[in-house]
Amino acid sequence: MEISSLFDFSWLAAEGLGRLPHFLTSLGIGLLMGLERERNPTARAGLRTFALVALLGTVCGVLSQTQGAPWLTVAGLLMVGAMIVIAYLDAAIGNPREAKEEPGTTTSAALVLCFALGAMVAYEFDRLAVMLAIAATVLLYFKPELRGLAQNLERRDLVSILQFAVVSFIILPILPDRAFGPYSALNPRQIWLMVVLISGVSLAGYLALRIVGRRHGAALLGLFGGLVSSTATTLVYARHGRSAQQLRELSSAVIVLANLVVLARLAVLTAVASPALLPNLLPVLGCALLPGAALVAYRLRRLQSQDEPPIPAIGNPTELRTALVFALIYALVLLVAAWLHDKAGTVGLYGVALVSGLTDVDPITLSALRLFGLGDLAAPQAVISIGLAFLANIGFKLGLIAASGGMDMLRRCLPGLASTAAGTAVGLLLFA
């Protein structure tokens, strides 16, 4: 007997039980959500209630379909709402203090959602209903963590989130999705989509740095600092190392780690913007990452007993001015890269990579990915462009460390950054 035949439920239809898998799915959804509520002492509905409500949703959905009466689903939803109101009024009369302290809003909303998910199962949205049930259960279970997260956010953090929402959900949809300019190199929506991508990665690192950076030491400071801005992190910690000798070991570790995170950032950008190039780029990034990561791991082990490190003062990465500047730089690099590639071939593109990579790897990386996606650039050329930009950026960082942190900081950071650069060069020679 084939394994697939074990999961064949077609025989149920012949027995008049064709809808049984749907009811089993809705029962599982109700039990999952109810199990979480059962553990909560303040919840007024638990395992049995949620399971019954999910089954009721599926029953109403099935009857609505078979009888041609969509109002039955609406009636079932109203019944659940009335049940919640009656339960609350009963609790308010029997124990007014308890009702006042805990109105049970979350449990009530979860019950309504549970009914709706049961109805979705009846309408053949089984997979989506299960995914939503899992997501809802996660939200219910991690209430303390989510509350702590909200309480740790300051006004500027909320402003950052709102600005990212403006960049992503207001500006992006209204931009035209067609090519403009010479060589048809400028697509406003594609350019702004890259802004959204960079802002999203930077915002995640910014919020993580604000929330947990100090409590978990140099490793997370380097990680999140690299996500927000490796250049800003390098500058800040080079100055820390220069001003306080006891911070030099920690600052050098954070700087090297932040620049290693750039490699992971490049992999993420490639996976999102041009996943077809990822198999060609990953070996190069791996060669660059390994030697630097080994040195950083050794230094972080020596730093475990030190006091809490300082958090760098990094500005909001999602403010509109920052997004506009990045969009202009990216558009300019994209245009110049297309022009030089047309006039001077790959040599011109490599020159752009070296120059633009001095201050920021992201624009030339996204430009190379865009050209590769359009078929104007071969995979080896795109990988070499990204690798050259990263090498130029490492060279710029070494100069920045020497100017801001002095020769002692440069001496401490040089082994990690130089080994990373050497690994990049070896990766380009072997795999590009």
Tell the burial category of 81 from Cβ atoms under 10 Å away from its Cβ (0-12, 13-18, 19+). Answer: middle
Report d(CA 357, CA 127) in Å as an integer.
44
DSSP state of 316: -
In this prediction, residue 9 carries a pLDDT of 52
pTM: 0.60
φ, ψ of residue 40 to 5 degrees: the values are -90, 115
Report d(CA 206, CA 212) in Å as an integer.
10
380 close to 428: Cβ distance less than 8 angstroms: no
DSSP state of 76: H
**Range 244-249 contact pairs with CB under 8 angstroms and sequence separation of 24 or more:** 247/309, 247/310, 248/408, 248/409, 248/412, 249/299, 249/302, 249/303, 249/412
Report d(CA 118, CA 112) in Å as an integer.
10
pLDDT digits (tens, 9 = 90+) for 301-338: 776 655 555 555 556 666 667 677 777 777 777 777 66
In this prediction, residue 387 carries a pLDDT of 92
- For residue 168, the one-letter residue type is S
* Pure H helices in 95-216: 96-101, 105-122, 126-141, 143-152, 155-166, 172-174, 188-212
In this prediction, residue 209 carries a pLDDT of 62
Q: Which residues of the chain have pLDDT under 50?
A: 1-7, 11, 14-15, 99-102, 215
- Report domain extents, the chain: 3-141, 155-431
Tokens, residue 262: 């750039």
φ, ψ of residue 206 to 5 degrees: the values are -60, -50
- Cα three-residue angle 163-165-170, rounded to 5 degrees: 105
Report the first-to-last Cα separation within the chain, whole angstroms.
49
DSSP state of 376: S
Tokens, residue 188: 């406003």
In this prediction, residue 11 carries a pLDDT of 47
Paired strand residues for 180? 186
261 close to 227: Cβ distance less than 8 angstroms: yes
259 close to 230: Cβ distance less than 8 angstroms: yes
Q: b or e along 137-159 (b: 16 or more beta carbons within 10 Å of the residue's beta carbon)?
A: beebeeeeeeeeeeeeeeeebee
DSSP assignment of 164-193 equals HHHIIIIIHHHS--S-BSGGG-B-HHHHHH
In this prediction, residue 101 carries a pLDDT of 46
